[in-house]
Amino acid sequence: MTDDAPPVPANDLRTSLERYLRHLSDRGLSDNTLEAYRRDLERYVGYLTSVGRTSPAEIVGPDVEAFVDAARAGADGRRPLSESSAARLVAAVRGWHRFLARHGVSVDDTTWSVRAPAQPRRLPKAISIEEVDRLLDAAGQGDGPLPARDRALLELLYSTGARISEVVGLDLRDVDRTERRAAVRLAAGNAKQRVAPLGRRAVRALDDYLTDSRPLLTAGSPGTDRLALFLNTRGARLSRQSAWAVLRSAAHRAGLIDADGISPHTLRHSFATHMLARGADVRVVQELLGHASITTTQLYATSQDDELREAYAAAHPHAR
């Protein structure tokens, strides 16, 4: 479907909505995203119908603002929305109205004055250095080729602060274990690459895995992925879900508090928090993490400031 296709009848909200959803599907949006848009926009159409609107041409700006307010408060008879859900809803409504205006179904985009609610900035969670050590030690316990693989996987995550998708996507050629310049080449989802140094412990763990364990995972597996760095028991590339399971299992064996809440991003957050706590410049950490904006990285510095204030308040005799 192209943007210059003839417009749908202007007197049919449901038909207009279905055409927009087909347009999104043609653009390759995931099934989950499409379903979320459908839920939000069907809620919107239900509200419009309840206030007497029967076609897109009848919708005016105050209708949109009133709907967003009603949805956030649950005044439309549905469950109230969180800030993040309300922001998603506003994005869905805006997208549909832009589509309608572009195809001449409505006179103009009536959502220009509607602002998405500001979302609270959540500070990242991290675990202590001692807990990281326990986690990594637990990953390497056991017999067979998997403990060495699991230890190398988690050591690499913590050593580089990489995203789990970046690590499971690594090929053998992306890793340089040369002494004094050991590094790994990481590629984010937008194909932008960066090089992250590897610490000695990560290099040792990779050496153990590549020397002793990976050959066992490739033995007798005709479907072996010869390029992938991390393999599963069938010789195929380790998946994100399996990597999550490795981390969760190690967290339980290490006896970490809230082991079920430990995720690959926990190690990424811990990497950044520990680097800043030991004096790393925030712009260096930004580059290592691959953040496009330094504002994102500064959340970790804010977290450090909060910890310092708490420590000061607890220890200084004149703090209170």
The active-site residue, picked from 53, 94, 177, 265, is 265
- Listing DSSP states for 220-256 in one string gives T-TT--SSBSSB-TTSSBPPHHHHHHHHHHHHHHTT-
- Among 44, 47, 158, 300, the active-site one is 300
- The number of C-alpha atoms within 13 Å of 228 and in the hemisphere containing its C-beta is 22
Catalytic entry in 163, 237, 269, 274: 163
Q: Is 20 known to be catalytic?
A: no
291 in catalytic set: yes
Tokens 């580059």 locate to 287
79 is catalytic: no
| Whether the Cβ atoms of residue 167 and residue 228 lie closer than 8 Å to each other | no
Q: 19, 268, 269, 274: which is the annotated catalytic residue?
A: 268
Catalytic residue among 38, 53, 248, 291: 291
Helix-helix angle 264-277:146-160, to 10 degrees: 50
Angle at the Cα of 286 (from 202 to 268), degrees rounded to 5?
A: 45
Q: Where in the sequence numbering do the catalytic residues fall?
A: 163, 265, 268, 291, 300
